[in-house]
Amino acid sequence: MSWLFRSLNSSVGKKVIMAVTGLSLISFLMIHLFGNLTLYIGREAFNAYVDTLDIIKPFIRVIEVVLAGIFILHIYNGIRLWIENRNARPVRYAVSGTAENTDFSSRTMFVTGSIIFIFLVLHLSTFWYNFNFTGHPETGSHDFYTIIVYWFSNKLYAVAYILSMALLTFHLNHAFQSAFQTFGWNHKKYFPLIKKIGLVYALIMGIGFASIPIYFSFICGGNQ
């Protein structure tokens, strides 16, 4: 086995993979949210934003491939850790103190992560697919704003979105500080601050992304 493979395959190495891929996804989410917020400026602003992405399409495609790779690595490695970690305790406790000695976000990473993955499939098979290939599912129009309105007029779809974003908030809350701990950047001086930044970041992402289905589905009722 090569040095790199052996290193990344160790318990600490696997955590590093989770942290590096996780932090990349964290940065991606931030950019994604900023882009989405153009929806609040209006139809023209949002369409112009998506058109800009269209102009630099080859570049975006490269980013998409890299992102997909990062996602797959994050998910594959997460599942592997989950299985190996479960195997490390073959007989479970009759009474578990986990609810008292850990916080909710940290012990539910696998569950929140799995549901976010299902959300991701839903998200890609609707918006990403329509934007890139088919246009509006009924009219075929490439007015992107209308596609958003179309999907979020489905209340069930919007609720699934909002719930997923709530889980994403928990996932990110643990993720952020956890990555710092993994890199060894934990000191009493600044770790409480890192935890706070992580919480604020998670809340901004959760509320920011969830606000869009809330706005289109429940505030404007799809009447833009």
Partner 1 sequence: MSENKLNLTLKIWKQAGTNAPGSFETHKVTVSPDASFLEMLDELNDGLEREGKDPVAFESDCREGICGTCGLVINGHPHGPVPRVATCQLHMRNFKDGETIYIEPFRAKAFPVLRDLIVDRSAFDKIMYAGGYVSVNTGGVPDANAIPIPRDIAAEAFDAAACIGCGACVAACKNASAMLFMSAKISQLALLPQGQAERHQRVEAMVAKMDELGFGACTNTYACEAECPKGISISNIARMNREFLVSKIVSKLTD
Q: Where do contacts with partner 1 occur on this chain (CB under 8 A)?
A: 3, 7, 10-12, 14-16, 81, 84-98, 100-103, 106-107, 109, 174, 177-178, 181-188, 191
CB 163, min distance to partner 1, A: 24
CB 92, min distance to partner 1, A: 7
CB 180, min distance to partner 1, A: 8
The Cα 27–Cα 17 span in angstroms is 16
Q: Which residues contact 33 (CB under 8 A, 6 or more apart)?
A: 204, 205, 208, 209
- 206 neighbors 165 (Cβ within 8 angstroms): yes
Q: Identify the helix (H) or strand (E) that includes residue 145.
A: helix 144-152
Nearer to partner 1, 15 or 43 (CB): 15
Nearer to partner 1, 58 or 184 (CB): 184
C-beta neighbour count of 72 within 10 angstroms:
11
12: left (phi over 0), alpha (psi -120 to 50) or beta: alpha
CB 5, min distance to partner 1, A: 12
Nearer to partner 1, 102 or 139 (CB): 102
Nearer to partner 1, 102 or 134 (CB): 102
